[in-house]
Structure 1
Amino acid sequence: MALPLRTNFKHFFRFIHGFNPTKRSLCAGNEERKGSSRVFSGIQPTGVPHLGNFLGALENWVSLQEQHSSVLYSIVDLHSITQPQDPTLLRENILDMAASLLACGIDPEKVILFQQSQVSEHAELSWILGCLTSMPRLRHLPQWKMKSKVKQEGSVGLYTYPVLQAADILLYKSTHVPVGEDQVQHLELAQDLARIFNHHYGDVFPEPCALLSSTRKVKSLRDPTNKMSKSDPQKMATITITDSPDDIALKIRRAVTDFTSDVSFDPERRPGVSNLVTIHAATAGISVDEALRGAAGLDTGAYKTLVTEAVVQRLQPIREQIHRLRAEPAHLEQVLSRGNSRAKELASPVIAEVRHRVGFT
């Protein structure tokens, strides 16, 4: 039941502060049926993805475009400016990311691939949802706690980043969102905001559920207790999908292992060697057990050569395709422009409905 529109703000913010219905973050039953779902996900334009991005998210994205009838993937450049950006480099990074997604197998005929900032409805819905979100609710989310601690302070944009994430999802009435375990809390905010908006203004948004990927996480080659990251100051820690075979070989050769020469999988006691096994299995398309059988009789030094071969073989065609696509920026701009138009066609009627429900029209 909707709250009366004359409800005063003091009462209303008590309402959303205490609004704590049972959360449903994961998909249940057969809700993933192809004909009744819409998938949304986004990726920041931070340049070319690294191996962890590829194995942890992008391979899953390619699979999802075959499993669902309506899929939107966004290059979320509005999110990227919560950190300082050089405008020229940002433009290049957007095209780099578009080329990378296409090279990894994203098909713009099967999905809507678009640039977030070119669909202004994202920002408008974010403002409306922000007015339904309490500050304590945002303060406890991991994005703010992690990044503000590093900088000792944070921008308003960084603080409200999860609200924009929620707007990205709800704007298309998305039903499913592929996320890692570290993003589930942000998806729960989107679920909460869908319920709050619907309670106050009437049913508009479905509550999106998480599609948790079973893909194993790739760790830093230099510190296997942490995830592989593009922002890692150690250049040898991260493999990008455009690294040359020589670069890949050097980085894997210098990967941290331990003083035991045999190859085994024990992430707690042997994180470095286990990370190499994970990378080998994922890039070769085999199980961990199969990777271990392939490593039988090898010491860690020889095993690194085997891992290098698997990574190079998996990434080489992607690297070559990215270089071909980046040589045709007009084609990439055309792909994004077409995706922007298709995304806007979906977003416009939703934001029109939201405006009417809120009372703007």
Structure 2
Amino acid sequence: SPPEPGNAHGCSPLATMEGTSTSKMLLYSAAAATGVAVAAAVLWARRTHAYEQYVPLQYQYRPGTISGWIAKALSRHSKQRRKQRPVRVYVDGCFDMMHYGHANALRQAKSVGDQLVLGLIPDSEIMRCKGPPVMNEEERYTLVEQVKWVDEVIRDVPYDLNPQFMQELFTKHRIDYVIHGDDPCLLPDGTDAYAHAKKLGRFVMVKRTEGVSTTDIVGRMLTCSRVNPIIASEPHPLAKSFSGADEALKNEASSSSTPRRTTLSCFLPTSRRLVQFSNGRTPEDGARIVYIDGAFDVFHPGHVAVLKAAKAEGDFLLVGLHTDEDVQARRGPHLPIMNLHERSLSVLACKFVDEVVI
């Protein structure tokens, strides 16, 4: 019998249509399954990224899992390596008339690494680049060596970090990073003293402490001259540069017949700053506690010697600070140069002091 009408292979049109429909259904099903898989993968990736972004690293591992065990092993290895090869950071400066702003910069620098190496610029370099310092090199060395965050002091360092000295820091002293405040440090020719360290990528910047500087302290000392009939009626002209406002001078003059000191500090004391400077230590049972009190105004090498001798008498040194009103009553209205909270930070930065009573 003759074949049924259809294609060349003898397939009927109905069978051909059924096969095409099945192929399309399979194709659509595969495309839908692929789309669902891709959407699930994208959603999982986004959730994982958000998890890693918002959850701190130490909380991303579950206890008892392989990742948690690996994290602990890496942490132990890191601590062991830091003991064998601690991170050493370098800070240099004049540190003339050392104050709590300098100490706060050293505290921040120490937090960057494990060991803080301080470079003390000699008098000759300061004279060449800035002019004569107020304190000589031995006095400045005494003040920086007593700061509790300083581990090592290098003397006779250059004012500018030239490539030769940078190489010496990296090789001989094994320095990893050079640190300085965010205030500009320029050479006599106007170039950046830390340009080479920045170029090598070994420079770290810390925030400058607002409200204090060596220039400001010298200005306070110049304006806080002793009261005499010649200047009692008119404040010193320099007082306007360091007091903060002329109105404060007028108010003080009109509210009291007794001349008062004309300098006003811009320092804002906070509990956070005091905690940062405090050791947080308490005397152990049976410890020999030594107490010494004083004004400790404009912290200087004489204060360091007294505190060192006092600490040698016992195990725990407690320092009491006189209030501003008490200092004024005993020393006169021109003192203290630095207020109570400024003086407390200067004393707390000393490595011989364990606690301060304000």
Q: TM-score range by the shorter chain?
A: 0.3 to 0.5
Q: Which has the higher helix share?
A: 1
Normalised by the length of structure 2, the TM-score is: 0.36
Which of the pair has the greater relative contact order for Cα pairs under 8 Å at 6+ separation? Answer: 1
Normalised by the length of structure 1, the TM-score is: 0.36
Higher gyration radius (CA):
2
Q: Which has the higher strand share?
A: 2
